[in-house]
Amino acid sequence: MNLDLGSGVRSAISKITGAGVVDEKAINDLVIELQRALISSDVNVKLVFEITEKIKEKALKEKNHPSITLREKIVKIVYDELVSMLGEKYEPSIQKKKILVFGLNASGKTTTIAKLAKFYLKRGLKTGVIAGDIHRPAAIEQLKQLSEEVKCDFFERGKLDPKALALEGLKTLKDDVVIFDSAGRSAFDDELKKELKDIYNAFNPDETFLVVSADIGQVAGKQAEEFSKTIPVSGVIITKMDGSGKGGGALTSTHSTGSRIAFIGTGEKPDDLEVFDSTKFISRLVGYADLETLLEKVKEVTEEKELTQAIETGAWNYTTFMIQLKSMRKIGPMKKIMQLLGLYDIPEEFMDKSEDKLKKFEAAVSSMTEQERKNPAFVKVKSRQERIARGAGIKPEEMRELVTNFDRVEKMYKGLKKNKGMLKKFGNIDLSKLGGL
Ligand SMILES: Nc1nc2c(ncn2[C@@H]2O[C@H](COP(=O)(O)OP(=O)(O)O)[C@@H](O)[C@H]2O)c(=O)[nH]1
Ligand SMILES: [Mg+2]
């Protein structure tokens, strides 16, 4: 099964956001789906069970904050646990420095160096690269071409010994940022270890980046561990995140073996590099720009359900009324829909409420007490209306207008309820899809 991690995680979360009731079964469904998504992205099975066990425990035991729904709470728990699997955000220092890049053959070192050069150039630092892969004939030419493409300085001395090359390169290049492209091997052997140590001592880098391809999944962590026994690894760069189904394994194993992820490569072009930020990464994986948007989304879903319930039962209160007003504002020409349904007696004033009036209504509803919102009868009391209007900063007649409108809507839906056929017709319409009408 080739399950993309993002869609797997989204599908898992939908077991909660889309569930009729959030009960133990819904939580189990979420956990099973999440396990499936993570394992198929090559995340270590033991780690997956640890994480999902924690999610389950917190989801069932942790108390709800009064203003957060159970759904929101669970989504947030999942989000937090996923973020914790990946470690902290990397913050690249924008200053003069020497960077040594290393890793096995074809992991993406040379491509990544062009990306890094572009990254620092864009931030106003003069950048140059040293062609240190002297074992593969085409490697020097590849780096030369890339450096022309990103417009950074380039240094090579053919097959000169890498130690001498590092020293000469540093003397010749007068750049703020100097990046050394080292040779890989097909495996991590003694020859490579010795060469890396020599370069490290001669070049004396401020940062050392190990490049691994996402394709190797969990092996990334082991590799980082091995390399760091030879020279310090200040950060791991995981390339080919765009094309691999094993990215989850590469990311989590790197963090769990004690290395930090510095950048990720997301394509072959010099711009396809991202500073690694676990929070942003997970937000995107989950499918939302940030958690606030996520929570907002969850809220909307819940509101939609409440609204449907109010429509079906005819039991309105000021909370559902407000949701109704907001959703109508999104839909636009509600009148047209109503007419299509054969409902002509919608109060004109209600349909044509201006933005301004809507805001006033919203202000009024928010200065009601919870009790008033749930029991519209309370709002009929004049002294209460006066208090609400004062709290909302609106005129008493505007407050009365709100109450009148509420009564009309309630009556309309009660009428609809009697006409079951019509209600069914109405219920079958997916309001969210009518935005373009
Ligand atoms: N799709 C994709 N391809 C990449 C990425 N990084 C590198 N590559 C490709 O991987 C191959 C090996 O890259 P190269 O930089 O030559 O690896 P090196 O041997 O470690 O220097 C090349 O075909 C690159 O275009 C990436 O982030 N995404
Ligand atoms: Mg190379």
DSSP character string of 119-168: HHHHTT--EEEEEE--SSHHHHHHHHHHHHHHT-EEE--TT--HHHHHHH
Do 244 and 131 lie in one domain? The reply is yes
Closest ligand, as measured to the CA of 103 = 1
Q: What is the pLDDT of residue 295?
A: 57
Using a 6 Å cutoff on CB, does residue 106 contact ligand 1?
yes
- Specify whether the CB–CB gap between 179 and 99 falls below 8 A: yes
Using a 6 Å cutoff on CB, does residue 35 contact ligand 1?
no
Nearest ligand 1 atom to the CA of 273 is 27
Strands (E), 39-116: 97-102
Do 379 and 273 lie in one domain? The reply is no
Distance from C-alpha of 297 to C-alpha of 301, rounded to nearest angstrom: 6
Do 251 and 113 lie in one domain? The reply is yes
Q: What is the pLDDT of residue 435?
A: 35
Structure tokens of 74?
A: 């669970």
Do 138 and 55 lie in one domain? The reply is no
Residue 140 inside a domain? The answer is yes
Residue 379 inside a domain? The answer is yes
Do 65 and 154 lie in one domain? The reply is no
Do 50 and 119 lie in one domain? The reply is no
Residue 418 inside a domain? The answer is yes
Write the single-letter amino acid at 66: P
Do 269 and 318 lie in one domain? The reply is no
Residue 106 CA to ligand 2 centre (angstroms): 7
Residue 252 inside a domain? The answer is yes
Q: Indicate which residue's Cα is closest to atom 19 of ligand 1.
A: 106
Farthest CA pair distance, the chain: 92
Q: What is the pLDDT of residues 308-348, one digit of tens each?
A: 788 777 788 998 888 877 766 665 455 555 555 555 555 66
Closest ligand, as measured to the CA of 131 = 2
Distance from C-alpha of 148 to C-alpha of 190, rounded to nearest angstrom: 34
- Specify whether the CB–CB gap between 93 and 125 falls below 8 A: no
Using a 6 Å cutoff on CB, does residue 110 contact ligand 1?
yes
Residue 181 CA to ligand 2 centre (angstroms): 7
Q: Supply the CATH number for residue 26's domain.
A: 1.20.120.140
- Specify whether the CB–CB gap between 163 and 202 falls below 8 A: yes
Residue 288 inside a domain? The answer is no
Choose the residue to mutate in 129, 133, 145, 239 for probing ligand 1, maximizing ligand atoms within 8 Å of C-beta: 239
Q: Supply the CATH number for residue 123's domain.
A: 3.40.50.300
Do 171 and 78 lie in one domain? The reply is no
Choose the residue to mutate in 268, 269, 272, 274 for probing ligand 1, maximizing ligand atoms within 8 Å of C-beta: 268
State the total domains in the chain: 3
What residue has token string 């417009």? 151
Residue 297 CA to ligand 2 centre (angstroms): 44
Using a 6 Å cutoff on CB, does residue 107 contact ligand 1?
yes
End residue of a domain, out of 49, 65, 85:
85
Q: H/E element holding 102?
A: strand 97-102
Write the single-letter amino acid at 427: G
Using a 6 Å cutoff on CB, does residue 29 contact ligand 1?
no
Closest ligand, as measured to the CA of 185 = 1
Residue 106 CA to ligand 1 centre (angstroms): 6
Q: What is the pLDDT of residue 437?
A: 32
Do 253 and 377 lie in one domain? The reply is no
**Strand-pair partners of 427:** none
pLDDT along the chain (437 residues), means of 10: 71 86 93 95 96 95 72 86 91 92 97 97 93 92 97 96 96 96 94 96 97 96 96 96 91 93 96 91 69 59 76 84 73 52 56 68 87 91 91 91 88 70 51 38
Q: Indicate which residue's Cα is closest to atom 4 of ligand 1.
A: 268
CB atoms inside a 10 Å sphere around CB 148: 11
Q: What is the pLDDT of residues 74-86, one digit of tens each?
A: 888 998 899 999 9
CB under 8 Å to 395, separation ≥6 — which residues?
Answer: 389
Choose the residue to mutate in 100, 101, 111, 211 for probing ligand 1, maximizing ligand atoms within 8 Å of C-beta: 111
- Interstrand relation of 235-239 and 127-132 (parallel, antiparallel or unpaired): unpaired
Using a 6 Å cutoff on CB, does residue 265 contact ligand 1?
yes
Structure tokens of 305?
A: 């359900």
Domain that holds residue 161: 97-277
Residue 251 CA to ligand 2 centre (angstroms): 22
Task: Return the SS3 of 405.
Answer: helix
Closest-CA residue to 103 (of 195, 8, 33, 3):
195
Measured between its terminal Cα atoms, the distance across the chain in Å is 40
Distance from C-alpha of 317 to C-alpha of 377, rounded to nearest angstrom: 9
Do 129 and 215 lie in one domain? The reply is yes
End residue of a domain, out of 57, 85, 113:
85
Residues in the chain: 437
Do 249 and 110 lie in one domain? The reply is yes
Dihedral of CA 38/43/44/48: which sign? negative
Residue 267 CA to ligand 1 centre (angstroms): 8
Using a 6 Å cutoff on CB, does residue 109 contact ligand 1?
yes
Global model pTM greater than 0.85? no
Q: What is the pLDDT of residue 338?
A: 54
End residue of a domain, out of 31, 51, 85:
85
Residue 194 inside a domain? The answer is yes
Using a 6 Å cutoff on CB, does residue 274 contact ligand 1?
no
Do 37 and 75 lie in one domain? The reply is yes
Distance from C-alpha of 280 to C-alpha of 284, rounded to nearest angstrom: 6
CB under 8 Å to 330, separation ≥6 — which residues?
Answer: 432, 435
Q: What is the pLDDT of residue 49?
A: 97
Residue 400 inside a domain? The answer is yes
Give me the sheet containing 153-155, strands edge to edge.
153-155, 127-132, 177-182, 97-102, 207-213, 235-239, 261-265, 273-275
Distance from C-alpha of 328 to C-alpha of 431, rounded to nearest angstrom: 9
Q: What is the pLDDT of residue 57?
A: 95
Residue 107 CA to ligand 2 centre (angstroms): 8
Q: Indicate which residue's Cα is closest to atom 13 of ligand 1.
A: 108
Strands (E), 148-277: 153-155, 177-182, 207-213, 235-239, 261-265, 273-275
Residue 286 inside a domain? The answer is no
Angle at which helix 162-172 crosses helix 190-203, to 10 degrees, equals: 30
Residue 48 CA to ligand 1 centre (angstroms): 29
